[in-house]
């Protein structure tokens, strides 16, 4: 938001130095693993630091900070709540909660979120379905799309051989790592298929992948900088985003799906109803049951056997990102919200101060 004349301060947890490449002021908190300490000590520290800046707008990105948002609002501050997930649905699947307690806790969480949010200035929701929960407060939907600056990386002509499938992003079992690994091991050896996974893989999960990867077709690349990710996408046959059907993912729009599309790659995606609009709607890839390695392998094989069709899917996805599924379109909604709250046009320069608050994810 700096280009629109806002001074931005990011208050966020980190126990390591963070590179500042965007001219945003960083105010780093100690990152605490204990949920109790995050709910108490971290929230209190966030409020103390936030008040010290006396910002004109406070933008909270974590449900743990709702009490802090309410306190700031009671002190007369303008507060935006940025909602990334359906909190009540998420609570029903919190493994650290005893099973018997999840439903009543989910009800309490939903009631707390509803009660606090309607007292805030505005809500920004990541999807239309989440926005539908907040009808008592001004709400806009801002989707997590990539910037248009990502170039089309897939070269013209026949796709490179051997066949290479890519997953790049956060790593966990519920993001489909085991099923992906099993699927690539089901493919015909004729095309020497490979699965390249870019991201930090926990040791226990890496061991599980190794047990499934009987033909040694999976390569764990670890964390890669953006430039290397772009090179990786440029050599791929398709991008994988076969997340499990958990409440968090069913109501989400993963940016990696649109980054694959922006790079001109066809996608193989989970067959979630919300995602169909974006994948099937523009013909950008194939949708599969993410829990079925055979279905994923079938989609992979289809990409290998029909390279021109796969190329056309990639081009349609890339065109859709340039036309609609991009951050520039979504940013305009956010800028308009800030202009409305601040009651002033947002020009190229100015002195309005925006505070962005985060704690670690639960």
More confident residue, 135 or 148: 135
Whether residue 260 sits in one domain with residue 131: no
Whether residue 241 sits in one domain with residue 183: yes
What lies within 8 Å, CB to CB, of 140 at 6+ separation is: 122, 123, 124, 125, 131, 333, 334, 337
Q: Work out the average pLDDT over 211-229.
A: 93
Whether residue 313 sits in one domain with residue 241: yes
Interval 20-45: pLDDT, tens: 656 778 888 888 888 888 888 888 99
Q: What are phi and psi of 222, to 5 degrees?
A: 75, -170
Q: What pLDDT shows up at residue 216?
A: 95
Torsion of CA 307, 308, 310, 315, to 10 degrees: 140
Q: Domain of 70?
A: 2-145+326-357
pLDDT band of residue 137 (cuts 50, 70, 90) is very high
Query: Which among 23, 26, 32, 30 is positioned nearest to 9, based on CA atoms?
Result: 26
Q: What pLDDT shows up at residue 149?
A: 56
Task: Show the 3-state SS of the chain.
Answer: CHHHCEEEEEEEECCCCCCCCCCCEEEEECCCCCHHHHHHHHHHHHHHHHHHHCCCEEEECCHHHHHHHHHHHHCCCCEEEEECCCHHHHHCCCCCCCHHHHHHHHHHHHHHHHHHHCCCCEEEECCHHHHCCCCCCCEEECCCCCCCCCCCCCCCCCCCCCCEEEEECCCCHHHCHHHHHHHHCCCCHHHCCEEEEEECCCHHHHHHHHHHCCCCCEEEEECCCHHHHHHHHHCCCEEEECCCCCHHHHCCCCHHHHHHHHCCCCEEEECCHHHHHHHCCCCCEEEECCCCHHHHHHHHHHHHHCHHHHHHHHHHHHHHHHHCCCHHHHHHHHHHHHHHHHCCCCCCCCCEEEEEECCCCC
Overall domain count for the chain: 2
Q: What pLDDT shows up at residue 42?
A: 87
Q: What pLDDT shows up at residue 197?
A: 96
Whether residue 313 sits in one domain with residue 336: no
Percent of the chain with pLDDT over 90: 55
Whether residue 135 sits in one domain with residue 7: yes
**Is the residue at 298 inside a domain?**
yes
pLDDT band of residue 352 (cuts 50, 70, 90) is low
Q: What pLDDT shows up at residue 227?
A: 85
What lies within 8 Å, CB to CB, of 264 at 6+ separation is: 152, 153, 154, 314, 315, 317, 318
Whether residue 313 sits in one domain with residue 332: no
Q: What pLDDT shows up at residue 206?
A: 95
Whether residue 169 sits in one domain with residue 117: no
pLDDT for residue 94 is more than 90:
no
Percent of the chain with pLDDT over 70: 90
Whether residue 193 sits in one domain with residue 141: no
**Is the residue at 170 inside a domain?**
yes
pLDDT for residue 87 is more than 90:
no
**Is the residue at 152 inside a domain?**
no
pLDDT band of residue 294 (cuts 50, 70, 90) is very high
Q: What pLDDT shows up at residue 301?
A: 96
pLDDT band of residue 362 (cuts 50, 70, 90) is very low
pLDDT band of residue 97 (cuts 50, 70, 90) is confident
> Can you name the residues that pair with 254 across neighbouring β-strands?
none
pLDDT for residue 3 is more than 70:
no
pLDDT band of residue 247 (cuts 50, 70, 90) is confident
pLDDT band of residue 196 (cuts 50, 70, 90) is very high
Whether residue 203 sits in one domain with residue 79: no
Whether residue 215 sits in one domain with residue 186: yes
Q: What pLDDT shows up at residue 353?
A: 57
Say which CATH number the domain at 194 has.
3.40.50.2000
């Amino acid at each position: 938001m700096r280009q629109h004349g806002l001074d931005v301060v990011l208050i966020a947890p980190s126990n390591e130095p963070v590179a500042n490449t965007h001219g945003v002021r960083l105010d780093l908190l100690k990152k605490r693993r204990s949920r109790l300490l995050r709910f108490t000590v971290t929230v209190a520290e966030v409020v103390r630091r936030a008040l010290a800046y006396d910002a004109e707008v406070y933008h909270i990105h974590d449900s743990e900070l709702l009490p802090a948002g309410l306190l700031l609002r009671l002190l007369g501050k303008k507060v935006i709540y940025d909602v990334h997930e359906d909190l009540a649905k998420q609570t029903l699947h919190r493994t650290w909660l005893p099973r018997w307690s999840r439903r009543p806790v989910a009800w309490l969480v939903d009631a707390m979120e509803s009660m606090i949010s309607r007292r805030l200035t505005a809500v920004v929701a990541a999807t239309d379905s989440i926005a539908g929960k907040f009808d008592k407060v001004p709400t806009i939907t801002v989707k997590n799309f990539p910037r248009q600056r990502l170039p089309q990386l897939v070269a013209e002509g026949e796709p490179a051989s051997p066949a290479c499938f890519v997953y790049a992003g956060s790593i966990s079992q519920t993001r489909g790592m085991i099923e992906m690994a099993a699927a690539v091991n089901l493919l015909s050896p004729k095309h020497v298929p490979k699965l390249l996974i870019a991201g930090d893989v926990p040791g226990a999960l890496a061991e599980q992948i190794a047990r499934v990867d009987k033909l040694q077709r999976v390569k764990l690349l670890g964390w890669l900088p953006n430039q290397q990710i772009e090179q990786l996408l440029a050599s791929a046959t398709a991008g994988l985003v076969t997340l499990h059907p958990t409440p968090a993912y069913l109501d989400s729009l993963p940016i990696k799906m649109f980054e694959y599309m922006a790079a001109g790659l066809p996608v193989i995606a989970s067959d979630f109803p919300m995602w169909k609009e974006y994948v099937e709607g523009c013909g950008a890839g194939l949708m599969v049951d993410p829990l079925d390695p055979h279905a994923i392998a079938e989609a992979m094989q289809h990409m290998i056997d029909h390279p021109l069709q796969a190329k056309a899917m990639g081009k349609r996805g890339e065109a859709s990102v340039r036309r609609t599924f991009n951050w520039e379109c979504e940013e305009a909604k956010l800028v308009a919200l800030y202009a409305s709250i601040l009651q002033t046009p947002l020009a190229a320069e100015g002195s309005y101060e925006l505070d962005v608050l985060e704690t670690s994810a639960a």
